[in-house]
């Protein structure tokens, strides 16, 4: 990890879905670059993760608006009443299979996980940012907006992209930037809390293998990225170095544009 010391000095940041994976790496980098950081997750392991990077933690389920309000209120309390940066990282494919095999409740679960979490948390923080007439929201999207075997997740991330573009127009007069990083396939440490059930049989394993093959084949670099590579792009978008960027979805997928 290449650290830019002091880049976020004096800044207050909130990272959701931060108990593991990309979210935890973003939180670590922000803290290493002098931000005061609050990690938000519904997994109790977020407390241990926060302690590991000298940050604070809030336990909340962002799939409900009440959970998002709890998260933002808790973060404001821990950050002395101010939030400068929100990184909406919660999301991820729960199931991997052709669309005709999804049950209606499974489709709804994917949308709640990967779209509503971003909608709710952004809505909860927005009045605070408007009152302060400043702030940056970085949404973590995905290049899976063009991909197979996770159509509800792809649709959810397409919604995140639309939110980013449209809300940037509304928020700009208040000095607020809304941006997104569309993550490609990423090698991450083994998850301590699984996103969904593991493949149960050879058919389900083959469906997942096809996602991996399609993801790699669609990249120019022919590999997965790392959590550090994803965090670098997210933290750039959150920083003053990106002060003239808003409404933009930055693909971070080895050349796959999503």
Q: What are the structure tokens assigned to 74, written together?
A: 């808790």
Q: Please identify which of the residues 65, 102, 153, 174 carries the catalytic annotation.
A: 153
CB 79 within 8 A of CB 36: yes
Q: Look up tokens 């197979």; give the residue.
A: 148
CB 106 within 8 A of CB 96: no
CB 55 within 8 A of CB 79: no
What whole-number distance in Å separates Cα of residue 74 and Cα of residue 128? Answer: 13
Q: Look up tokens 């093959």; give the residue.
A: 213
Helix (H, G, I), strand (E, B) or coil at 47: helix
What whole-number distance in Å separates Cα of residue 54 and Cα of residue 39? Answer: 10
Q: What are the structure tokens assigned to 25, written together?
A: 């790496």
174 as an active site residue: the answer is no
What whole-number distance in Å separates Cα of residue 218 and Cα of residue 5? Answer: 35
Residues 6+ apart with CB under 8 A from 25: 1, 227, 228, 230, 231
CB 212 within 8 A of CB 150: no
CB 179 within 8 A of CB 137: yes
Q: Which active-site residues does the annotation give?
A: 153
């Amino acid at each position: 990890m290449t650290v830019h010391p002091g880049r976020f000095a004096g800044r207050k940041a909130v990272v959701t879905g931060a108990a593991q994976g990309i979210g935890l790496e973003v939180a670590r980098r922000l803290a290493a670059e002098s931000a005061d950081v609050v990690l938000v997750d519904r997994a109790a392991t977020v407390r241990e993760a926060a302690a590991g990077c000298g940050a604070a933690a809030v336990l909340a389920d962002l799939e409900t608006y009440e959970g998002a309000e709890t998260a933002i209120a808790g973060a404001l309390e821990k950050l002395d009443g101010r939030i400068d940066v929100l990184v909406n990282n919660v999301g991820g494919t729960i199931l991997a299979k052709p669309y005709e095999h999804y049950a209606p409740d499974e489709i709804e679960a994917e949308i709640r996980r990967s779209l509503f979490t971003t909608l709710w948390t952004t809505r909860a923080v927005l009045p605070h940012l408007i009152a302060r007439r400043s702030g940056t929201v970085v949404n973590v999207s995905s290049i899976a907006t063009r991909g197979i075997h996770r159509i509800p997740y792809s649709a959810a991330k397409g919604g995140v992209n639309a939110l980013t573009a449209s809300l940037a127009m509304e928020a700009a007069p208040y000095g607020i930037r809304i941006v997104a990083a569309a993550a490609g396939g990423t090698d991450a440490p083994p998850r301590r809390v699984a996103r969904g059930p593991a493949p149960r049989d050879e058919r389900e394993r083959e469906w997942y293998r096809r996602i991996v093959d399609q993801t790699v084949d669609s990249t120019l670099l022919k590999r997965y990225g790392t959590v550090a590579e994803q965090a670098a792009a997210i933290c750039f978008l959150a920083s003053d170095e990106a002060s003239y960027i808003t409404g933009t979805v930055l693909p971070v997928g080895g050349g796959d544009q999503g």
